[in-house]
Amino acid sequence: MRLDNPIADIDSPKIASALPDILTVAEVEQMLTVPQKQKPLVLRNYAMLHLLYATGIRVSELVGLPVRDCSLTSGHVRVLGKGDKERMVPFNEVAGGQIEEYLTKTRPVLLRKRTSPYLFVTGGGGKMTRNRFWQILKGIVAANGIEKIVSPKTMRHSFATHLLAGGADLRSVQMMLGHTDISTTQIYTHVDKGRVKELHRRFHPRG
């Protein structure tokens, strides 16, 4: 007589979606170092990169960000994400300084007395595209000798992972990323296994 397999009805564990490479903090710092030759386009490129890592916003949100929605005074960007859901995301003083320098020295030169509602514009004064920024990012990665495949999404993943590794709570990171479901944000908690192990060692009674 054949017995039924007792584990046949148990669901297989779900495999988390594969994440692209996460940059280390040192790699990000290396990429964010502005070259000595600060030509107009270089200032724009690094202002975009600084803001991307400082806020973790999507590349579509970055290139479509209106000037009016970036406040240097409060250090926040107002972002309309998926489903036109609005969120306010802070950025640090370093990113603010890069943006201010771009607004002062570069944007007027690129616009040539024209107007644009967008914060970041191309060399011809038009709207920056996702593909163009991706090309810019690839150039910065190559110039710094980083061998990982780095996309705008890699910067977003690195932003979230570094925040959680530094002790940020999951709900705050969820809000900044614009995730509707917190389970989407939870994928980042498995990346920094070293931190989880250290927390276990410190706080478990037999750690």
Q: What is the mean pLDDT of the chain?
A: 86
**pLDDT at residue 48 in the model:** 98
pLDDT of 172 strictly over 60: yes
Least confidently predicted of 1-5, 63-67, 90-94, 182-186 = 1-5
Q: Which H or E run contains 87?
A: strand 86-90
Q: How confident is the model at residue 195 (pLDDT cuts 50, 70, 90)?
A: low
Residue ranges and CATH numbers for the domains of the chain are 25-202 (1.10.443.10)
Name the strands in the sheet holding 70-71, side by side, starting at the edge strand that comes first in the sequence.
Answer: 70-71, 76-80, 86-90
pLDDT of 87 strictly over 90: yes
* Of 144, 137, 110, nearest in space to 126 by CA: 110
**pLDDT at residue 125 in the model:** 92
- Reported as a single tens digit per residue, the pLDDT across 39-48 is 889 999 999 9
pLDDT of 193 strictly over 50: yes
Length of the chain: 207
- Reported as a single tens digit per residue, the pLDDT across 98-155 is 999 999 999 999 999 899 999 999 999 999 999 999 999 999 999 999 999 999 999 9
Q: Which H or E run contains 93?
A: helix 93-101
End-to-end CA distance of the chain: 48
Q: What is the pTM of this model?
A: 0.82
**pLDDT at residue 35 in the model:** 87
* Opening angle at CA 121, ends 157 and 32, nearest 5: 40
Does residue 167 or residue 194 have the better pLDDT?
A: 167
- Reported as a single tens digit per residue, the pLDDT across 2-43 is 455 544 454 444 444 555 578 999 999 999 998 877 788 999
* Of 94, 120, 97, 96, nearest in space to 107 by CA: 120
